[in-house]
Amino acid sequence: MPRRFLFLQGPTSPYAAEVGRGLRALGHEVHRIDLCLGDRLFWREPGATAYRGRFGDWPGFVAGFLAEHAITDLVLLGEQRPYHRPAIAAARPLGVAVTVTDFGYLRPDWLVVERDGMNGESRFPRDPAEILRRAADLPPLDTRVLHQDSFRRRALWDMAYHLSNLLPWPFPHYRRATLHHPLLVYPGMGWRLLRQRGEARRSAAGFAQAAARGPVFLFAMQMENDYSIRAYSPYPDMDTPIAEAMRSFAAHAPPEAQLAVKLHPLDPGLKNWPRRIRRMAEAAGIAGRVAFLGAGALEPMLAAARGLVTVNSTAALQALTLGRPVLALGQAIYRIPGLAFEGPPGEFWRGAPPPDPALAEAFLRLLGAALHVRGTYYARPGLDAAVAATVHRLHHGLVNDPGD
Q: Where do the domains of the chain lie? A: 4-151+369-396, 195-362
Looking at residue 366, its pLDDT comes to 97
Please check the confidence at residue 219 and state whether its pLDDT lies above 70.
yes
Looking at residue 116, its pLDDT comes to 96
pLDDT in tens, 264-304: 999 999 999 999 999 999 999 999 999 999 999 999 999 99
Looking at residue 371, its pLDDT comes to 97
pLDDT in tens, 223-249: 999 999 999 999 999 999 999 999 999
Higher pLDDT among residues 180 and 50, named by residue:
50
| Pairing label, strands 372-374, 73-77 | unpaired
Please check the confidence at residue 404 and state whether its pLDDT lies above 60.
no
CATH of domain 195-362: 3.40.50
Looking at residue 193, its pLDDT comes to 87
Looking at residue 402, its pLDDT comes to 84
- Output the average pLDDT for the chain: 96
Total residues found in the chain within this entry = 404
Q: What is the mean pLDDT of residues 104-121?
A: 96
Q: What is the mean pLDDT of residues 95-113?
A: 97
pTM of the model: 0.95
pLDDT in tens, 321-336: 999 999 999 999 999 9
Q: What is the mean pLDDT of residues 136-146?
A: 95
CATH architecture of the domain with range 4-151+369-396: 3-Layer(aba) Sandwich (3.40)
Please check the confidence at residue 146 and state whether its pLDDT lies above 90.
yes
pLDDT in tens, 12-23: 999 999 999 999
Higher pLDDT among residues 378 and 47, named by residue:
378
Q: What is the mean pLDDT of residues 351-372?
A: 97
Helices (H), 214-337: 227-230, 239-252, 273-284, 298-304, 315-321
Residue 403 pLDDT grade (very low, low, confident, very high; cuts 50, 70, 90): low
Residue 24 pLDDT grade (very low, low, confident, very high; cuts 50, 70, 90): very high
Is residue 222 within 8 Å of 254, Cβ to Cβ?
no
Q: What is the mean pLDDT of residues 205-217?
A: 97
Question: Is 4-151+369-396's fold the same as 195-362's?
Answer: yes
Residue 40 pLDDT grade (very low, low, confident, very high; cuts 50, 70, 90): very high
Buried b (16+ CB within 10 A) or exposed e, 68-79: eeebbbbbbbbb
Alpha-carbon span 123 to 6, nearest angstrom: 22
- Count other Cβ atoms within 10 Å, centred on residue 248: 19
Looking at residue 1, its pLDDT comes to 86
